Amino acid sequence: MQITGAELFVKALLAEKVDTLFAYPGGQAIDLFNALYGVEGLDVILPRHEQGLVHAADGYARSTGKVGVCLVTSGPGATNLVTGIATANYDSVPLVCFTGQVPTHLIGNDAFQEVDIVGITRSISKYAVTVRRREDLGAVIKKAFYIARSGKPGVVVVDLPKDIQQALGSDGYPQSIEIRSYKPNISVHIGQIKKSLDCLKRAKHPVFLLGGGVNISRANEVMAALAEKTGIPVVTTIMGKGAIPTSHPLYVGNLGIHGSYAANTAISECDVLFSIGVRFNDRITGKVSEFAKSATIIHVDIDPASISRNIEVDIPIVADAKNAITALLEKSPEFDFHEWRIQIDEWKKQKPLGTKQTGESGVTPFAVIQKINEIFSDAVITTDVGQNQLWATQFLELTDQKQMLTSGGLGTMGYGFPAALGAKLGNPDKDVITICGDGGIQMNIQEMATAIVYELPVIICILNNGYLGNVRQWQEMFFDKRYSSTCLRYRRSCAATCNTPSACCPEYTPDFIRLAESYGAKAIRVQKRDEIEAALLSAKNRKKIPTVIEFIIEREENVLPIVPPGNPLSDMIMGGEEDEEKMDQPFC
Amino acid sequence: MKKRWISLFVENDIGVLARISGLFSGKSYNLNSLTVGTTEDTTISRMTISLTSDDKTFEQIKKQLNRSVEVIKVVDFMDTAIHMKELMFVKIHGCSEHDMMKLSYMKEIFQAKMIDYAPSMALLESVQTEAGNNDLLKLLESDFSGRIEVVRGGSVAIEAISFSER
């Protein structure tokens, strides 16, 4: 039977078991939307901005493990995806993004709403292609889904010219596809596994360093079993957090420039660093030449290009994390690293995270996140980017039932809230919370309307300090407190330069409470510590509409510890002397 | 830092050349030359790439090329006997009779051909290794400074059959 390209597009989505499509229409996509009209088994979600759309698809994909699917029009619709595509691709999130395009005979003509989106996204996607012949359409879509979800997952952009959407052609959609130039290696080389285990036999102070790859391959359970069998302490990157439950006795903490004292010290002192699914990004290594200096480094990664790129690796293992961990679990003997564990526990006790935060009101990020930990047991928590993210990655407790989504690689402000909407659509029975700052929330706040119209009761926690706090912290610590363009309470009436926030500062705009209410959401402002719990509980009980909770926090609260740029991980700023004294009296 | 050669088998599709050259510019790899053409299988193109890098970066470049979806095979030419040639045209303007004499010596010695001619102009075609073309060019530049026009094609290379040296 002959069907249009648009009809085949819908058929392909259904064949790929797509249940949720994040889509924003426009002139060059109108035929596709026409074909989608009234289709059963496929929820078409209309966000309010294409950037919100792609982050929502990303949140959906990360939280469900399925491919997130976007559909937008040509030109500005397509370019508005760019940040979201880079965000997802950097964190290996499987997305397929369909973009409308001007008809093939107009491509290159500077036609209305024409952009070369394939060219624009070439360096930020896994694969990008314009469909130029109607007869290729089915195979291209099949290929797109396969490439997005296999190997190291990533973003595929499929550009669909209008005439291809309209052209009649075969209704066949391939069952499978063979791509000669694309053969991701996922199986594991047993020889290398044995070599790595031999190395552990000689170790005294080994550490597992787990990254996003462990979470992406859903290896959490086998990983916990492997940690238990070997008795090796576990450190995670931000993307690897939750690889084993954070309450696990073997879990040490996150490493990196805002890592915990115990984790950074363990990494600096270990003799074998068994890393799985990490990239050794500059945010985790600190000064590269000092990183795990005396350790033999074992590195499991699905991407050969990640191996020995930033850190010279002694034993490389190219494989899917889950396959490698399963093989390790099978072949590994039991070890005894008792003394090393006692040492690490000692470090943990000596310098715990978060206890130095002292807002006058008691509404500290630590107190807020501790309450989130207590109240929510089956949840997806997204973060935005900045201090809110760093606090969340330090303090959040994760389990098999609690997952954190964060823009780790690209560090995209505006990610958290729309990602939460996607996560809620994919996990209607879970509580979905986003932790964001007053800066980032405003980058995609228009999606409040999306939350309302689709009845998504997400909980939006805004940690409001009236600053772009992370940059302000750097300005405080490394730029002589020159608060250049970081105060969000600044008004024309203010002095041209100011680094002394006070009670006299101009009022914050917008008023998040009235803004949220105008969308039809519930909004609560929390200014005292004892209001935190009630606000979160009432939000948890709301089943149809989102709740905005604005936590008014100390304006100049810092993320600590911090490894200053260029320093080795072992050289952390922990906080002042006063803080040292308070450290013994954690207030939560 | 060392000069290196790679041969790349890629899908003969629109945008592949941009993807490969974009990889070099985007990641600040030092690309010297890149040639591309179809092979006996018209769905496959073969590129010969010359680049300059240290050992570590070279390993990374090969891996990055390999992970590109459109790349079928990466062949490292560093430890392989290959045949490699580059086409170069040099047009020489304002030639006196004496110049023409010099040119005919040069072309003999460098095995170049004079493929076009006018009373005061000559066009040389030289198919040599890149280094061979460099040598010829150096000589031409010193003798005909400001009077030459050069176009070079970049090298193409293929594995040797019985030769053991490049």
Query: Higher confidence at residue A194 or residue A583?
Result: A194
Joined tokens for residue A247: 């309450």
Instruction: Give the pLDDT band (50/70/90) at residue A507.
Output: very high
Amino acid, res. B32: N
Q: How high is the mean pLDDT of chain B?
A: 95
Task: Output the pLDDT for position B160.
Answer: 95
Give the residue on B whose Cα is nearest the Cα of A181: B72
Among A89, A125, A129, A181, most B C-beta atoms within 10 A, so best to mutate, is A181
Please tell me the distance in Å from A154's CA to the nearest CA on chain B.
11
Please tell me the distance in Å from A124's CA to the nearest CA on chain B.
10
Task: Output the pLDDT for position B147.
Answer: 96
**pLDDT greater than 50 at residue A585:** no
pLDDT (mean) for A224-243: 98
Same fold, B2-76 and B83-159: yes
pLDDT (mean) for A156-168: 98
pLDDT (mean) for A114-123: 98
Q: Collect all residues from B whose CB is shorter than 8 A from any CB in A.
A: 10-11, 13-15, 18-19, 22-23, 26, 56, 59-60, 63-64, 66-67, 69-72
pLDDT (tens digit per residue) in A75-87 = 999 999 999 999 9
Q: Which fold has domain B2-76?
A: Alpha-Beta Plaits (3.30.70)
Asked if B159 and B80 touch (Cβ cutoff 8 Å), the reply is yes
pLDDT (tens digit per residue) in A312-321 = 999 999 999 9
Task: Output the pLDDT for position A576.
Answer: 65
Q: Which fold has domain B83-159?
A: Alpha-Beta Plaits (3.30.70)
Please tell me the distance in Å from B47's CA to the nearest CA on chain A.
15
pLDDT (tens digit per residue) in A4-31 = 999 999 999 999 999 999 999 999 999 9
The sign of the torsion formed by the CA atoms of A463, A466, A468, A474 equals negative
**pLDDT greater than 60 at residue A583:** no
Task: Output the pLDDT for position A358.
Answer: 76
Q: How high is the mean pLDDT of chain A?
A: 95
Asked if A132 has any chain B CB less than 8 Å from its own CB, the reply is yes
Task: Output the pLDDT for position B94.
Answer: 96
Size of interface A-B (CB pairs under 8 A): 43
The low-confidence residues of chain B, meaning pLDDT below 70, are 165-166
pLDDT (tens digit per residue) in A180-202 = 999 998 889 999 999 999 999 99
User: What domains does chain A contain, in order, with CATH numbers?
Assistant: 2-170 (3.40.50.970), 190-350 (3.40.50.1220), 365-558 (3.40.50.970)
The domain locations on chain B are: 2-76, 83-159
**pLDDT greater than 90 at residue A296:** yes
Task: Output the pLDDT for position A182.
Answer: 96
Task: Output the pLDDT for position B164.
Answer: 83
pLDDT (tens digit per residue) in A323-345 = 999 999 999 999 999 999 999 99
Asked if A304 has any chain B CB less than 8 Å from its own CB, the reply is yes
| ipTM of the complex, rounded to two decimals | 0.92
pLDDT (mean) for A138-155: 98
Asked if A308 has any chain B CB less than 8 Å from its own CB, the reply is yes
pLDDT (mean) for A251-277: 97
For residue B60, which residues of chain A lie inside 8 Å, CB to CB?
305, 309
Instruction: Give the pLDDT band (50/70/90) at residue A587.
Output: very low
pTM to 2 decimal places: 0.95
Task: Output the pLDDT for position A588.
Answer: 31
